[in-house]
Structure 1
Amino acid sequence: MKTLTLAALSCSLIVLTSAAWAEITLTDLKGRTVTLDAPAQRVMLGFYYEDFLAVAGDGAVDKIVGLSSGPWAEWRPKQWEAYTQKFPQLADLPDVGDTESSTFSIEAALATDPDLVILAGWQYDALGESAQQFDTAGVPVLVLDYNAQTLEAHLASTRALGQAMGTEDRAEALATLYQTMTKDTAARVADSTEEPKVYVELAQKGPDEVGNSYAGGMWGGVIDRLKGRNIANGQIENWGPLSPEYVLAEAPDVILLAGSEWLNRPASVPLGFGAEPKLANERMHAYMGRTGWADLPAVAQGKVYGIYHGGSRTLSDFAYFRFLGKALHPTAFADVDPQAELAQFYTDWLPITPEGTFVMQVE
């Protein structure tokens, strides 16, 4: 009788467990229906590394079985270094290649035996019809899109990721935070009467060569949302350099230099993980020494700012947008400390401390 009771209890637990982890059906950022038998335990992660860790929470690293590591280790090497110091196992994971360099191997991805593949929209698009190999193998693919830089896409990506990982409550809290901060930023901008002219340049090549500016997307899209008058609008499509003569003629009120952790770029503005403020300031001053720049309103008034190029298109980008909002509308954002908000985000949601220089005003 006792044995039968234990057997019955075991059956009940199996039923309850099955009910608790019922089939998950969600819609990804390509409008595709994605079905999982249970929350993902073996993830092949293509992009959005920090967003995955933030949403998936404790134990997230242990669920990664493979990486498209190029966009992390090569594009953001100091960030990669910070995470591999905390989690050495990341460096030992299989690298499945990168769609940007046409080295992405679906065979290598399938060899990691994932129960979920997570890709950025641009990665999924680059794979084209070959992505159907995942369907043939019975492996679900979740496409996210923080690159769209819209509130709707950020929220939808976060919630879809939470559903897939079984961390819906955590995802909802992150979505609520992002929405709250975004709406507060918009309200402050709406109340401001300032509409300064803005020039943004990718500060990768050094002052002797003009780097890309942005219109419509990336930093250009952010400037538009913050009611800045982006001098690149109407001059370029998406990204490209502006002529030095044009920049001088437009006389921007604010200059934004986007820096990062680039390797083998000795004249670039170093910002991000491990970046030293003194060196970043020196490199920004080198840009200010360009012919004619001393007479620009932005330079004359000290309104030259550096911002981490890896800071956009992620769940923490609200802090970078608020930094730029404060640069454009100092009165409206007088009580906002974007650097403290960024640090708090890491404390609350990510497993490392962001050591480095991520935003700064030239001294």
Structure 2
Amino acid sequence: MRNTLKTIVLLATAALALAGQSHAEIRVVDVKGREVILDAPAKRVILNFYYEDFIAVVGPGAMDKVAALSLSTWKDWRPNQFEAYAKAIPGLPTIPDIGDTENGTFSVEKVIATRPDLVILSAWAFDSLGASVDQITSAGIPVVTLDYNSQTVEKHVQSTLVLGRVMGSEERAEKLAKQYEDAMHDIKRRIESAPPSNKKVYVELAQKGAQDVGNSYGKTMWGALVDELGGINIAKDQVENWGPLSPEYVLTQKPDLVFLAGSEWANKPLSVSVGFGASEELVRDRMKAYVERPGWSTLPAVQNGGVHAIYHGGSRTLSDFVYAEYIAKQLYPDAFKDVDPVADIRRYYDTWMPIKADGVFVLPYEASVK
């Protein structure tokens, strides 16, 4: 893990030398193993996802380079976050929408008509579009894929360096990638020095309210992160990437820790509303309904103060090392007693983003964090 950034940089440098390209030409290998060639850093981009990571890597004026974006997966999934950025970046709400793959509105025709010099897709959107991607590339428009969803240090670092390269912001990208790698290395070092946790962990997407069972996570996102941290993910081998677990199964597994992944979704009035603009009082009130589910009073997580809210918008991002810290702090409290995830998330935004981390991003159901 520690040498991921160094290795990728060295490989990229070697590849460039072997290619014998002109100084202006940019060649990268994206997370799908595709070679992507640009004549120069992109100045007119279509952005499908990973909005905050794009802003962090590209830096001031990042959204001035976005000709169109997939709007609903930002504005509807993270409305308070979007509003915060709209205040900091006045032109943001006027950027054209090309639809998104999640609701089937992504328009290849709009993409081509926009005449971008680069399309940036998440790996899952690339997979969803299938042969439609060929229509874009056949029109002479390069497509590059990023993957923060896999929740691995390697994919995070590769995606960040690729993004920095195609956008001409290599220095910021390398600093961000190193920060991420160093933070995850520190977490790993602390875990390796601590006794095994052996705590069972249940993560649920707390989107529709306690009356509905939300997705849990197997091999990606929160599931991959829990595995990396040495927790016992009760969704592992039960769902592939994400999907709901039966209430009966959760009760039989008796999780020691429950993380309710919440956000400020539009039109989801019963969600655990973690995120920008959130209040501790409201978050805990929404969590209460989950804690009071039938049978949950018998769970070790409920009996021992192990139920937590965590910001779903923080997963699959360059800031997710902070949420890794928070989960690890619950798994290994002694090893992480000097780590303050709340301060770290504020520091990340102060350093890299044009907005402040104003809100609630992690919160225990009980009044005090272990």
Same fold (TM over 0.5): yes
Shift of 1:149: 1.2
Relative to structure 1, the CA distance from residue 341 to residue 137 in structure 2 (aligned partners, 3 Å threshold; closer, same or farther) is same
Residues in 2 aligned to 1:85 and 1:21: alpha-carbon distance in whole angstroms = 38
Residues in 2 aligned to 1:188 and 1:265: alpha-carbon distance in whole angstroms = 38
Query: Which TM-score applies when normalising by structure 1?
Result: 0.91
Match of 2:11 in 1: none
Q: Does 1:90 align with 2:92?
A: yes
Match of 2:72 in 1: 70
Tell me if structure 1 keeps the 8 A contact 2:78–2:266.
no
- Matches of residues 117-266 of structure 1 in structure 2 within 5 Å? 117-193=119-195, 194-266=197-269
Match of 1:16 in 2: none
Q: Does 1:314 align with 2:314?
A: no
Shift of 1:21: 6.0
Residues in 2 aligned to 1:172 and 1:236: alpha-carbon distance in whole angstroms = 34
Shift of 1:71: 0.9
Residues in 1 aligned to 2:275 and 2:143: alpha-carbon distance in whole angstroms = 31
Residues in 1 aligned to 2:69 and 2:327: alpha-carbon distance in whole angstroms = 32
Q: Name the aligned partner's letter for residue 53 of structure 2.
A: D
- Bigger-Rg structure (1/2): 1
Residues in 2 aligned to 1:120 and 1:209: alpha-carbon distance in whole angstroms = 28
CA RMSD in angstroms comes to 1.6
Query: Which TM-score applies when normalising by structure 2?
Result: 0.89
Residues in 2 aligned to 1:357 and 1:265: alpha-carbon distance in whole angstroms = 17
Give a deviation string over 1:116-159, Cα, whole Å, max 9, x none: 11111111122211212222221211111111211111111110
Q: Name the aligned partner's letter for residue 302 of structure 1.
A: G
- Structure 1 unmatched ranges of 5 or more: 1-18
- Structure 2 unmatched ranges of 5 or more: 1-20
Residues in 2 aligned to 1:236 and 1:101: alpha-carbon distance in whole angstroms = 22
Shift of 1:20: 9.9
Match 2:288 to one of 285, 290, 305? 285
Q: Point out the more displaced range, 112-121 or 287-296.
A: 287-296
Match of 1:265, SS?
coil
Q: Name the aligned partner's letter for residue 264 of structure 1.
A: N
Shift of 1:236: 3.2
Q: Name the aligned partner's letter for residue 120 of structure 2.
A: I
Residues in 2 aligned to 1:88 and 1:272: alpha-carbon distance in whole angstroms = 21
Relative to structure 1, the CA distance from residue 66 to residue 197 in structure 2 (aligned partners, 3 Å threshold; closer, same or farther) is same
Match of 2:13 in 1: none
Relative to structure 1, the CA distance from residue 132 to residue 267 in structure 2 (aligned partners, 3 Å threshold; closer, same or farther) is same
Tell me if structure 2 keeps the 8 A contact 1:21–1:38.
no
Q: Name the aligned partner's letter for residue 62 of structure 2.
A: A
Match of 1:8 in 2: none
Tell me if structure 2 keeps the 8 A contact 1:94–1:112.
no
Match of 2:331 in 1: 328
Match of 1:147, SS?
coil
Give a deviation string over 1:307-355, Cα, whole Å, max 9, x none: 0111111111110111111011111111111111111111111111121
Match of 1:9 in 2: none
Match 1:297 to one of 282, 297, 300? 300
Aligned length: 345
Q: Name the aligned partner's letter for residue 84 of structure 2.
A: A
Tell me if structure 1 keeps the 8 A contact 2:263–2:312.
yes
Give a deviation string over 1:223-260, Cα, whole Å, max 9, x none: 11111112223333333333333322322211111111
Match of 2:28 in 1: 26
Relative to structure 1, the CA distance from residue 114 to residue 278 in structure 2 (aligned partners, 3 Å threshold; closer, same or farther) is same
Match of 1:79 in 2: 81
Identity %: 55
Match 1:362 to one of 345, 362, 365? 365
Match of 1:360, SS?
strand
Residues in 2 aligned to 1:98 and 1:131: alpha-carbon distance in whole angstroms = 13
Q: Name the aligned partner's letter for residue 134 of structure 1.
A: I
Shift of 1:263: 2.2
Q: Name the aligned partner's letter for residue 312 of structure 2.
A: H
Residues in 1 aligned to 2:147 and 2:250: alpha-carbon distance in whole angstroms = 32
Tell me if structure 2 keeps the 8 A contact 1:199–1:255.
yes
Match of 1:339, SS?
helix
Give a deviation string over 1:8-51, Cα, whole Å, max 9, x none: xxxxxxxxxxx996111111111111111111111111111111
Tell me if structure 1 keeps the 8 A contact 2:150–2:224.
no
Residues in 2 aligned to 1:304 and 1:176: alpha-carbon distance in whole angstroms = 32
Tell me if structure 2 keeps the 8 A contact 1:202–1:212.
yes
Give a deviation string over 1:255-306, Cα, whole Å, max 9, x none: 1111111222222211111111110011112211122322322111111111
Q: Name the aligned partner's letter for residue 315 of structure 2.
A: S
Match of 1:14 in 2: none
Q: Does 1:55 align with 2:52?
A: no
Relative to structure 1, the CA distance from residue 249 to residue 127 in structure 2 (aligned partners, 3 Å threshold; closer, same or farther) is closer
Match of 1:11 in 2: none
